[in-house]
Amino acid sequence: MQIIDNPNKSSWTTILKRPTQTVDDIETTVNKIFNDVRQKGDEAIKDYTSRFDGVDLQSNIVTKEEIEDAIKNVPEKLQNAIKKAKKNIEAFHVAQKTSKVDIETTNGVQCWQEKRPIVKVGLYIPGGTAPLFSTVLMLAVPAQIAGCEEIVLCSPPNKEGKLAPEILFAAQLCGVTKIIKVGGIQAIAGLTFGTETIPQVYKIFGPGNQFVTVAKQLATKFGVAIDMPAGPSELLVVADHSANATYIASDLLSQAEHGTDSQVILVSTSKNLISAVSDEVEKQIKELPRQAIAEKAIVNSKLIYIENNELALDLINEYGPEHFIICTKNEDFYVNGIANAGSIFIGDYTPESAGDYASGTNHTLPTNGFSKAYSGVNLDSFLKSMTFQKISKDGLLNIGETIELMAEAEGLQAHKNAVSIRLKDLK
């Protein structure tokens, strides 16, 4: 890992650059696949699945029999672990329910707000080198709690044309209504336009590689909402001399093993800790089954010495990490001061892995600095806030003149007339 000693603020932008391609590099590919799927539907989906996933599917719909077979292949201990994680995720997201907001803003004018579920949602679950069945829980659990009627899951098939049994087990456990064996850009395009087998949805959720991220952003041009831009995983740890170098190295590697385009950063006020973490990373990485992937990610990663906490916090807020771990004596300084981060993990015994799987918080989070403006997935992500109002005769008499004056000032005479005609009948 590259060690950077007390960088000047003017160099922070360069130092904190993510290892991602620009949109221009991949937008042409995404546009082509979108156009093909829009015009040819399932024919294009089948062609791209063959090309990118190396399998020719007779049908891309997961059958009831496939789900039943998959459940038999998930060990009981793992089934119980998934159920326990689901229970915690469920508890945290149920607690996010809010009551109806109801107020009389002025005499005779009643306004209220209610939340209603998004009827049709699409969940994208990455496959590839690590099928993320945990993401099924993170997306399907809140969708089910919200009351979404149609929950469509897309995930890329393996070379045998199957999805990981754990993905299917988690999907049926969480009320997914349809499971499609399709991944990548073509999956996002299918959910955007709809095909013979893939339902068109109103909002698409889920992480993915850079191609999936750009595909989701393109989907918004066709009237489909997305949860957030969520691309390659990233982690930033802030630590001082009191931190445990072994723990920190394990946290950095836990994210580095996600993919070659992941990025992990340590910001520390202790040069001795940086040296110890660097040694631990070299030692621990050799024991990982995904060593080759982690090593490539580590090339994009940095150990940064900053002389004081105030500067460190400024740098962290500038970066806006997806995951942020705090291992300092004065943890309150960072807890209270952090403005830009997807999810925060506090103390020596709160590894980021806990949030990835079973603590209860959601692991679908904004990356690439988007935590400056986006929230991670939560219950409200699957709901729409709708406002209602009911005005009595007295209410219209109370606010009618206000509306007339404002409408006339804006030059919108028909707006004024809609009130004036009613007021004439009431006076």
| pLDDT (0 to 100) of residue 230 | 78
> What string of DSSP letters covers 250-278?
HHHHHHHTT-TT-EEEEEES-HHHHHHHH
Q: Which of 323, 352, 363, 404 is catalytic?
A: 323
Element containing residue 140 per DSSP (H, E): helix 133-146
CATH class of 23-230: alpha beta
Neighbours of 356 (CB within 10 A): 21
CATH 3.40.50.1980 boundaries in the chain: 2-11+232-360, 23-230
Q: Which of 166, 234, 257, 322 is catalytic?
A: 322
Neighbours of 382 (CB within 10 A): 25
User: What angle is formed at CA 307 by the lines to CA 303 and CA 309, rounded to 5 degrees?
Assistant: 95
pLDDT digits (tens, 9 = 90+) for 73-130: 999 999 999 999 999 999 999 999 999 999 999 999 999 999 999 999 999 999 866 7
- The whole-number average pLDDT for the span 335-355 is 98
233 labelled binding-site residue? yes
Residue 166 burial by Cβ neighbours in a 10 Å radius (0-12, 13-18, 19+): buried
> What string of DSSP letters covers 305-328?
E-SSHHHHHHHHHHH--SEEEEES
323 catalytic? Reply is: yes
124 labelled binding-site residue? yes
pLDDT digits (tens, 9 = 90+) for 287-339: 999 999 999 999 989 999 999 999 999 999 999 999 999 999 999 999 999 99
Mean pLDDT across the chain: 96
Of 229, 224, 231, which is closest to residue 118 (Cα–Cα)?
224
Give the CA distances from residue 31 to residues 26, 181, 184, 337, 379, in Å, rounded to whole numbers and listed in that order.
Answer: 9, 21, 13, 41, 31
Q: Does residue 375 register a pLDDT over 90?
A: yes
| pLDDT (0 to 100) of residue 297 | 94
| pLDDT (0 to 100) of residue 21 | 58
| pLDDT (0 to 100) of residue 232 | 82
Confidence of residue 22 (pLDDT cuts 50, 70, 90): low
- The whole-number average pLDDT for the span 237-258 is 97
- Out of 226-240, 324-338, 386-400, 412-426, pick the least confident: 226-240
Task: For tokens 């719909």, name the residue.
Answer: 61
CB 248 within 8 A of CB 239: yes
Residue 8, token pair as written in the block: 């000047």
CATH 1.20.5.1300 boundaries in the chain: 392-426
Amino acid of residue 406: M
Residue 18 burial by Cβ neighbours in a 10 Å radius (0-12, 13-18, 19+): middle
241 labelled binding-site residue? no
322 catalytic? Reply is: yes
Element containing residue 144 per DSSP (H, E): helix 133-146
- The whole-number average pLDDT for the span 397-413 is 98
| pLDDT (0 to 100) of residue 127 | 84
What strands lie across the sheet with 383-391, from one edge to the other? 101-106, 109-117, 383-391
CB 191 within 8 A of CB 198: yes
93 labelled binding-site residue? no
What is this structure's pTM?
A: 0.94
Element containing residue 420 per DSSP (H, E): helix 413-426
| pLDDT (0 to 100) of residue 344 | 98
209 labelled binding-site residue? yes
| pLDDT (0 to 100) of residue 208 | 84
Of 309, 332, 304, which is closest to residue 236 (Cα–Cα)?
304
Q: Does residue 215 register a pLDDT over 80?
A: yes
CATH topology of domain 392-426: 1.20.5
Instruction: Select 2-11+232-360's CATH number: 3.40.50.2300, 3.40.109.10, 3.40.50.300, 3.40.50.1980.
Output: 3.40.50.1980
Q: Does residue 406 register a pLDDT over 70?
A: yes
Q: Does residue 25 register a pLDDT over 90?
A: no
Q: pLDDT over 70 for what percent of the chain?
A: 99
Strand residues in 73-129 grouped as ranges (E): 101-106, 109-117, 120-124
- The whole-number average pLDDT for the span 131-155 is 97
Q: Does residue 23 register a pLDDT over 70?
A: no
Q: Can you name the residues that pair with 234 across neighbouring β-strands? A: 263
- The whole-number average pLDDT for the span 190-214 is 95
24 labelled binding-site residue? no
CB 347 within 8 A of CB 331: yes
The conformation of residue 161, written as its DSSP 8-state character, comes to S
415 labelled binding-site residue? yes
Q: Does residue 20 register a pLDDT over 80?
A: no
Q: Can you name the residues that pair with 268 across neighbouring β-strands? A: 239, 305
DSSP alpha helices (H): ranges in 153-287?
Answer: 165-173, 184-193, 210-219, 245-256, 271-285
